[in-house]
Structure 1
Amino acid sequence: MAKIKRDPKAVALAQEIVDHYNPESVEDMDEALKEIFGPLFESMLQGELNNHLGYSPHSKESKSTTNRRNGYGNKSLITTRGEIDIEVPRDRDATFEPKLIPKRSRDVSAIENKVLAMYARGMSQRDISNTIDDIYGFSISADTISDITDSILPELENWQTRPLEKCYAFMFVDCMYVTIRSDYETKEYAVYTILGYNLKGHKEVLGLWLNESESKHKWMQIFDEIKSRGVEDVFFISMDGVSGLEQGAKSIFPNVVVQRCIVHLIRNSIKYVPSKDYKVFTSSLKKVYGAPTLKACKSAFESFRQQWSQYPGAVDVWVRNFNHVEQLFDYGAAIRKIMYTTNAVEAIHSSFRKVTKKGAFPNENALLKLLYLRVKELDQKWVSGHVPNWSMVMNQLLINDKFTERVNKYLIY
């Protein structure tokens, strides 16, 4: 295993702490860090006051303001390691408004949340360190930032194994690829994501899984896992065309309706169509899957086959998968609008890509930490809402003989 590269300054500081405090246990080290926190915050506050006044203590340069330092006030802070007493610098004009520890504020444990928030937005450890330095005039080492972000690993583990709801009306499954460094080389890893809509119409990311490639065997393991976490029934699963995935899903959830993503089929078929015909070709396809009735769909499909017979590869994609188009018309328009595509989970992956484009990750945990923090941000956006037009979806499920009894079994009013 490669030796971990440490910031020499951080190593020297750690050794100085050990030499000074001689900790003999984790508790002793925690107390030592608690003592260091006070001077740490005081140093950062001094940096803020220097910026506010425009000069440093004992500066020989001419001062552009008549405002001066005016001693200190005492304050007791609430931190992640308990209460800490510090001295807060003051100015004569009382115009100094600290940003790190605002007036009348005592809880500073949120600084860790700020670091986590920056990490969740895809900032590198170096960028976070530079940002803290720019704002507060105090550097945080990459190791410290890593320790802060590592604090969410137990929370991540609990989230990955949490019990799930007994029934989900819709599930959307998809993979994206992210680069991870491993043994001096980089590899593309598949990130498996499942998005669920429960019977209340609320969105939930059921979990995140990593594997070196996408395969039906891994998907089956994942479906088996979510079943063991409490999922008893799934009405619809929308997915792309991984071979054997449909059979794998049905082996775990026998009553599920598996829907091939129509958007993926469009992408697969236009590979065989010259770009000059894309627009007309896709317009013809929309008349097929967007038809108001099954009869109109079949009629539009026959016209489509005749119109584009010069591109047999493109037509064959739809001939082989036409059963997935036909089954859409077993359900009402509100249900069809949700089940026909995996766009909902692809939107999550689009959000992930915004924060993973910075480059290769050093290990799986570094990637999962970032993705989990992103999921938490998405959860905050979803918490007060539900899927649009959900009441109509539920009405169409209740009048369909396949789902009436199942909805009533699991729906909690």
Structure 2
Amino acid sequence: MEKGDYYGSVKYYLKLDELTDAVLNSDMTSMMKSLTVTGFNAYMEVERDRFIKAANYERTDHRMDQRNGYYERDFMLSAGKVKLRVSRTRSGEFRTEVFERYQRQDKAFVLSMAVMVVNGVSTRKVTNIVEKLCGEQVSKSFVSDVMKELDPEIEKFKQRSLSHSTFRYLYVDAMYIKIRENNHVISKAAYIAQGVNEENKREILGFMVAEEESTTAWSRFFMGLRARGLQTPKMIISDAHAGLKTAIREVFVGSIWQRCTFHFLRNIVDQMPKKNNKTERKLVEEILRAPTQQHARELKAVFEEMVQDNPKFEKALEILDYGFEDAIQYQLEPQAYHVSLRTTNSVERLNREIRRRDRVIGIYPNVASAERLIGSLLLDYHEEWVKAGRQFSRD
């Protein structure tokens, strides 16, 4: 319900991820706990309205059930234990998703910070947060119990077969995180792959936390996907990292590579004069958003003629010419897919969601802790996509 839901004259607007961030960064005052309770209760009200297909007191022929008050339930989450008013219906068939939808991510949050304390590498702030989250001192048995429940689920997701479908399009990207290793804080890359299957729906295909980006690391990631049954996709969408491009050519022979036009545009604009470039920039944007390759080439010729006598655009022209063909491959696909295929925006949205949680953790105590948090988040998104059945062309 990221954008809010309407029923009758009532609007429920709730951003649960932002609420989690606020709680995790607060001192857990009674006011914040009250806000958490209010938020989740409102969320369940919207769920019930959707199930019944009618707002409170609304008369409609589509009504499926009747409201039947509430019952109270304690809920332990990363904000600590709270008491919620759980909505119910007369038939008893309504079930809220609150308790299962956020439980997995919540465990990963608590466990990641708990491991920091147990390993003796936490800051005073993290120690205080963990005690407030759990309501008690964190023990190794606590970590072990949560890990036993969470890790097998993530490992199963990470190693699942990909032979159930043919994936036409493959999006790949990497982000950097900080991990403590051998008493040093080092940067590692979190690799993520997202695919579009033969039913025109998205799936998260895999992830890996390893050394910084290189041909070797990317090849290992791709070979892992191949070993699990991934066939050669028709098109792979990514940025222009040299190691990544080489790995794509070596592992996915025959796949078309689509260079992310968002990153490509930024590379070009960075080499333009800092002032008075509005017209030129707009024309480059039109080139990279043209409906056909012929139209793109015509616009490119116009741009070249416009700036060819201006030495300040020499480098920008060089970059455009070098990467042009790789950036317009999406234009050979059905136009309904163009917006989704020309950038890596969809996988980068996942990166941003990971980063929101990553800012709370700061430095992971080990690779396992990082994979636990990233894996739990990706698994939740994967299950949500599969359940929603959203068509790729609508993205």
Q: Same fold (TM over 0.5)?
A: yes
1:157-236 equivalences under 5 Å are 157-165=155-163, 166-236=165-235
- Structure 2 contact 196–392 (Cα < 8 Å) conserved: no
Aligned pair partner of 2:357 in 355, 358, 362: 355
- CA shift for structure 1 position 267: 1.8
- CA shift for structure 1 position 252: 2.6
Runs (5+) with no aligned partner, structure 1: 1-95, 134-138, 394-413
Deviations 1:193-223 (A, max 9, x none): 1111111122222111122210122212222
Check if 1:130 corresponds to 2:132: yes
1:260-339 equivalences under 5 Å are 260-277=259-276, 279-309=278-308, 310-339=312-341
Give the counterpart letter for 1:239 in structure 2.
S
Give the counterpart letter for 1:337 in structure 2.
V
Instruction: Tell me how far apart the structure 2 counterparts of residues 328 and 100 of structure 1 sit (CA, whole Å).
Output: 47
Runs (5+) with no aligned partner, structure 2: 1-70, 77-82, 87-97, 115-126
Give the counterpart letter for 2:183 in structure 1.
Y
Instruction: Tell me how far apart the structure 2 counterparts of residues 247 and 100 of structure 1 sit (CA, whole Å).
Output: 49
Q: Using a 3 Å threshold, how does the CA distance of structure 1 residues 297 and 212 change in structure 2: closer, same or farther?
A: same
Give the counterpart letter for 2:377 in structure 1.
R
- CA shift for structure 1 position 258: 1.1
Deviations 1:317-345 (A, max 9, x none): 11001112343332221233222111111
User: Aligned residue for 1:384?
Assistant: 387
- Determine helix, strand or coil for the equivalent of 1:321: helix
Larger Rg: 1
- CA shift for structure 1 position 130: 0.8
User: Aligned residue for 2:63?
Assistant: none
Aligned pair partner of 2:376 in 362, 373, 377: 373
Instruction: Tell me how far apart the structure 2 counterparts of residues 129 and 291 of structure 1 sit (CA, whole Å).
Output: 55
1:47-196 equivalences under 5 Å are 99=74, 116-120=104-108, 124-125=113-114, 126=127, 127-133=129-135, 139-141=136-138, 143-151=140-148, 152-165=150-163, 166-196=165-195
- Structure 1 contact 329–336 (Cα < 8 Å) conserved: yes
- Determine helix, strand or coil for the equivalent of 2:275: helix
Instruction: Identify the range of structure 1 (159-168 vs 239-248) with the bigger mean alpha-carbon deviation.
Output: 239-248
- Structure 2 contact 260–327 (Cα < 8 Å) conserved: no
User: Aligned residue for 1:401?
Assistant: none
Give the counterpart letter for 1:381 in structure 2.
E
Q: Using a 3 Å threshold, how does the CA distance of structure 1 residues 296 and 377 change in structure 2: closer, same or farther?
A: same
Deviations 1:278-310 (A, max 9, x none): 644431112212223333211210122233442
Instruction: Tell me how far apart the structure 2 counterparts of residues 129 and 112 of structure 1 sit (CA, whole Å).
Output: 23
Instruction: Tell me how far apart the structure 1 counterparts of residues 282 and 108 of structure 2 sit (CA, whole Å).
Output: 39
Instruction: Tell me how far apart the structure 2 counterparts of residues 316 and 334 of structure 1 sit (CA, whole Å).
Output: 31
- Determine helix, strand or coil for the equivalent of 1:276: coil
- CA shift for structure 1 position 142: 5.1
Deviations 1:176-196 (A, max 9, x none): 000001122210101111111
Give the counterpart letter for 1:384 in structure 2.
K
Instruction: Tell me how far apart the structure 1 counterparts of residues 277 and 322 of structure 2 sit (CA, whole Å).
Output: 20
- Structure 1 contact 176–191 (Cα < 8 Å) conserved: yes
Instruction: Tell me how far apart the structure 2 counterparts of residues 115 and 330 of structure 1 sit (CA, whole Å).
Output: 43
Q: Using a 3 Å threshold, how does the CA distance of structure 1 residues 116 and 307 change in structure 2: closer, same or farther?
A: same
- Structure 2 contact 173–192 (Cα < 8 Å) conserved: yes
- Determine helix, strand or coil for the equivalent of 2:242: coil
Give the counterpart letter for 1:155 in structure 2.
E
Give the counterpart letter for 1:269 in structure 2.
I
Instruction: Identify the range of structure 1 (353-362 vs 297-306) with the bigger mean alpha-carbon deviation.
Output: 297-306
- CA shift for structure 1 position 270: 2.0
Instruction: Identify the range of structure 1 (208-217 vs 376-385) with the bigger mean alpha-carbon deviation.
Output: 376-385
- Structure 1 contact 129–142 (Cα < 8 Å) conserved: no
Instruction: Tell me how far apart the structure 2 counterparts of residues 99 and 302 of structure 1 sit (CA, whole Å).
Output: 66
Deviations 1:148-179 (A, max 9, x none): 44222222222222111341011101110000
How many residues align? The count is 287
Instruction: Tell me how far apart the structure 2 counterparts of residues 100 and 247 of structure 1 sit (CA, whole Å).
Output: 49
Give the counterpart letter for 1:118 in structure 2.
D
Deviations 1:224-248 (A, max 9, x none): 2211111123111001112253343
Give the counterpart letter for 1:158 in structure 2.
K
Q: Using a 3 Å threshold, how does the CA distance of structure 1 residues 262 and 219 change in structure 2: closer, same or farther?
A: same
- CA shift for structure 1 position 354: 0.5
- Identity %, equivalent residues: 22
Deviations 1:36-72 (A, max 9, x none): xxxxxxxxxxxxxxxxxxxxxxxxxxxxxxxxxxxxx
User: Aligned residue for 2:237?
Assistant: 238
Give the counterpart letter for 1:213 in structure 2.
E
